[in-house]
Structure 1
Amino acid sequence: MLTRQRKQHILSVLQRDGHVVAKALSDELGLSEDTIRRDLRELAAEGLLQRVHGGALPVAAAEADLAGRQQLVPDEKVAIGRAAARLVRPGQVVFIDGGTTAVQLARHLPKNLRATVVTHSPPVAAELVSHAAVEVVLIGGRLFKHSMVAVGAAAMAAIARIHADTYFMGVTGVHAEAGLTTGDMEEAEIKRALMAAAAETVVLASSEKLGAASAWMVNPVGAAASLLVSPDAPAQALAPLRKAGPAILRAGPDGADKAGG
């Protein structure tokens, strides 16, 4: 089998099964694991998959830049953001992450809500300018332009001094084994600090993130209290995530409901 054919077969298996196991592929194709691992390395270098121990997972499409992410399942992001906004209670202190779904959350907070929003995302803070009763605390630091969020030591120090009720978290990948992942090391550190500083974490997970992985793990999936997914998120994708521990909430027209199935 030619290299090009092997790589296409690997990508077909990945699309079909949601993961690739190097040993199983070597047995199936009668090739050495070294050959399969070389193919996986090359495919990963092309941005076509994410290598993990023993094989590979779908690469997180949400690693695109901010403009690119705005084009990914926009209707889902609006639904999830709207449902997440209804989870915020008067008087709470909440962390809101960066990202396109987080912007939708901020946009859909009730105009008369009295609460405190802490964010390291200038776009999220800007969405709240017209919310007169929402106190906005903007965490500063080095601007990570890819995601339009503050990162670095100054941001970490500010987060450590806050105790929030809920952290609404954005990630690029949600996988039962690979965990909650993102594409940048410093951004992963910030997300980990925000999780530690909040009583609970709600992960905002549109469909392109389910079953996908990026290079940097924030925490295991079970570290989150719940995953807020789209109304149409497939049960097959949710089953392994449910087993990992968090509650699965579906975004609905009236808020978030526990997902069945």
Structure 2
Amino acid sequence: MRMLAAERRDHLLGLLARQGKIVAKDVAAELRISEDTVRRDLRDLASEGLCQRVYGGALPVSPAVADYGARRTVAPDGKRKVASAAAGLVRPGGVVILDGGTTALAVVHALPEDLDCTVITHSPTIAAALLDHPRAEVFVLGGRLFKHSAVACGAAAVEAAQNVSADLFLLGVTGVHLEAGLTTGDAEDAAMKRALAARAADTYVLASSEKIGTASRYRVLPWEEISGLVTDTPPHDPVIEQLTAGGVDVLAAD
């Protein structure tokens, strides 16, 4: 007896929770249904924001694709822990590129107010928060405002990014997944992040635990192009264990 649509839905959501991914052909063979049926089910789940469709199946969707205001209430303790650890990477006299978003804003709040450094950012929100840091020199890169993360992006912003250089880039993403890699929800935002990473000696990814094991639509960088990952996710988490085994430097934020 074949599953009803509601039963297939529960089964697919259960697979996402247990395995961290859905492979359409495997589900079709298991349930003795067509791959087209599985793909239709995945489209329905994706339209409800319950999964991120990828070639051949689906991955857990990141909660960080919500709008900027809503994300302020998502995992605030985790973001503070990540921000505190990341702030320790910013050295006196150093030059840091700071991404936009709620975790990056928490990094600003974690920086010592008397820290002498240079901050390059494409986020007006980040720049405004640095007004309380009198010894921080701030350079703002301009372009079209991407309101999801309150950052500038587009051709003008990418061109501006090509004229700066820094010791460190603190990169925000919406998803961290073993197979999908480091992802975000907008193509131009992803391009801007790549442009900024190319201008820094080291790039560290900021990812509180709710982003680990999830994915968004657009890949930002491959694992080999980052210096490390800053996260409050426990070291025994399967994703973190596999990343560590694969040579990714994971900086624990606790």
- 1:230-245 to 2 correspondence within 5 Å? 230=232, 232=234, 234-245=236-247
In the alignment, is residue 67 of structure 1 matched against residue 69 of structure 2? yes
The gaps in structure 2 that reach 5 residues or longer are: none
Partner letter of residue 100 of structure 1?
T
CA distance 1:16–1:80, change in 2 (3 Å)? same
User: Which residue number in structure 2 is paired with residue 229 of structure 1?
Assistant: 231
**1:158 CA displacement:** 1.0
Give deviations 1:118-143, integer Å, cap 9, x for gaps: 00111111111121111011111111
Q: How far has the Cα of 1:245 moved from its partner? A: 3.5
Structure 1 position 80, deviation (Å): 0.8
Give unmatched runs, 5+ long, in structure 1: 253-261
| Alpha-carbon displacement from aligned partner over 1:3-59 (angstroms, at most 9, x marks no partner) | 121112101111111111112211211112221122112211222101122211001
Q: Select 2:106's aligned residue among 104, 110, 115.
A: 104
Matches within 5 A, 1:1-261: 1-230=3-232, 232=234, 234-252=236-254
Change (3 A) 1:231 1:13: closer
Maintained 8 Å contact 2:235/2:241: no
Stretches of 4+ aligned residues off by more than 3 angstroms: 231-234
Percentage of matched positions with identical amino acids: 52
- Residues 141-172 of structure 1, C-alpha deviations (whole Å, 9 max, x = no match): 11111211111122111110111111000000
Q: CA deviation at 1:241?
A: 2.3
Contact 1:192 1:219 in 2 (8 A): yes
Q: Which moved more, 1:42-51 or 1:116-125?
A: 42-51
Instruction: Give, in whole Å, the separation in 1 of the partners of 2:126 and 2:183.
Output: 21
Give secondary structure in 2 for the equivalent of 1:128.
helix
Contact 1:143/1:149 (<8 A) preserved? yes
One-letter amino acid matched to 2:193:
K
Deviation at 1:66, TM superposition (A): 0.9
| Aligned partner letter, 1:108 | A
Q: How many residues align?
A: 252
Deviation at 1:234, TM superposition (A): 4.8
What is the distance in 1 between the residues matched to 2:241 and 2:126? 31
Q: Quick check: 2:61–2:215 contact (8 Å CA) kept in 1?
A: yes
Q: CA deviation at 1:231?
A: 5.8
Please give the secondary structure, in 2, of the residue aligned with 1:127.
helix
Distance in 2 (CA, whole Å) between partners of 1:133 and 1:97 is: 20
Change (3 A) 1:5 1:231: closer
The two structures, once aligned, show a CA RMSD in angstroms of 1.3
Residues 53-103 of structure 1 deviation map (CA, whole Å, 9 limit, x = unaligned): 221100111000111111111001011111111110011111000011100
Q: Which amino acid aligns with 2:30?
A: E
Shift of 1:220: 1.5
Q: Please, what TM-score do these two structures have when normalized by structure 1?
A: 0.93
Instruction: Tell me the distance in 2 between the aligned counterparts of 1:33 and 1:241.
Output: 31
